[in-house]
Amino acid sequence: MSTTTEPTEHARLTLELEAALLRELRSTYQDLNATHFRRALKIPTIELGDAERFLGRWHRETRCIEIGRRLVLERPWGVVVEVLKHEMAHQYVHEVLGQTSEQAHGPAFRGVCERLGIDAHASGLPDAKEAEPGEARVLERITKLLALAESANVNEAQAAMNAAQRLMLKYNIDSVAERQARGYGFRHLGKPTGRVTEAERRLASILGKHFFVEVIWVPVYRPLEGKRGSVLEICGAHANLEMASYVYAFLTRTAEQLWQAHKKLKGLGGNRDRRTFVAGVMAGFDEKLGAQREINTSEGLVWVKDADLGRYYRQRHPRIQHVKYAGGPRSEAHAEGRAAGRRIVLHKPVGQGPSGGVRLLPGKS
């Protein structure tokens, strides 16, 4: 698997961290072998390589998967896992299917990748797909509506936000009803964290309930720290990934700004109640979106899950564990956060992308 990325200076691992990283790669291999390949593969040697031209390689003769050192140090762990899947698919074709005469990315390999939801491109990385014409038009209209939501007039701003939500809902309902072929992808949002807070879980729930994506917390590894963590993954169509990614950044930033304003108003010197307040903000905004969804439902706009997206999601995550978490204390700080969350108006200015098309920009909050 090749890469055209220019070489850059990268951080270095100590011997202890490199040994821990290789153990984590072997552990990830075994997990993927169980979930995606039904334990059909026998674990090979896994090692780090210094060749700059390759993200990863499967060496059939020596039964070795080589993962680029630059890859694990410079790219998110989710990218490393995708490259590892790609090389495991090569191993599967050779050792399980017994197909050794085809080109590296021939029909047998592509078939395995399609069945297991693995990117078959030579780079081994998910394509940064461009929006389809229909998606681009919808994103353009939504972006303009969210720009109107910056209005100083509260009623006008709220009406613009509601119109943007309604447009996104109608677009998705029509796409599913008409069985339009839509390409799906995934993104990881935010930085890996060792502990997922209530606010982060509520934010993930908001994206899953209101913005037409599937959400899941996936394990990641931080090689330079030798620690595991979690990161939020969203799966969906291009337009929905764009919108959900923006909402994630907007709400994360807005909740922090609301907390700082709350601290100043109350004369608070510390951050003892920060997590509780921010969780309240997410709960309040969730309630606001839920109320608008009920209005849309009463008008006949009822969202039914996208079955094709569901299949894509289950391909990526064949074994999903559902865990219930109890929320934090419902204190005064939480109640004040909820009240602030109900007043949030999602908005965004209009900007031009590098090719002249409309793109979503970070909005003020």
In angstroms, the Cα distances linking 212 to 117, 127, 334 are 20, 20, 27
Contact between 80 and 71 (Cβ < 8 Å): yes
Q: Which residues of the chain have pLDDT under 50?
A: 4-9, 349-365
Output the pTM of the full model. Answer: 0.87
Contact between 193 and 227 (Cβ < 8 Å): no
* Model pLDDT, residue 139: 87
Of the candidate CATH numbers 3.30.2010.10, 3.40.50.300, 3.10.310.30, 3.40.50.360, the domain formed by 15-116 belongs to 3.30.2010.10
Contact between 182 and 240 (Cβ < 8 Å): no
* Model pLDDT, residue 136: 82
* Model pLDDT, residue 319: 87
Contact between 267 and 239 (Cβ < 8 Å): no
Q: Which residues are CB-contacts of 106 (< 8 A; sequence separation ≥ 6)? A: 99
CB atoms within 10 A of CB 41: 19
The encoded tokens of residue 332 equal: 């005064």
The domains of the chain are located at: 15-116, 133-360
Please tell me the number of Cα atoms within 13 Å of 226 on its side-chain side: 10
* Model pLDDT, residue 53: 85
Go through 242-273 and write b for each residue having 16 or more CB atoms within 10 A of its CB, e for each that does not: bbbbbbbebbbebbeebbeebbeeeebeeeeb
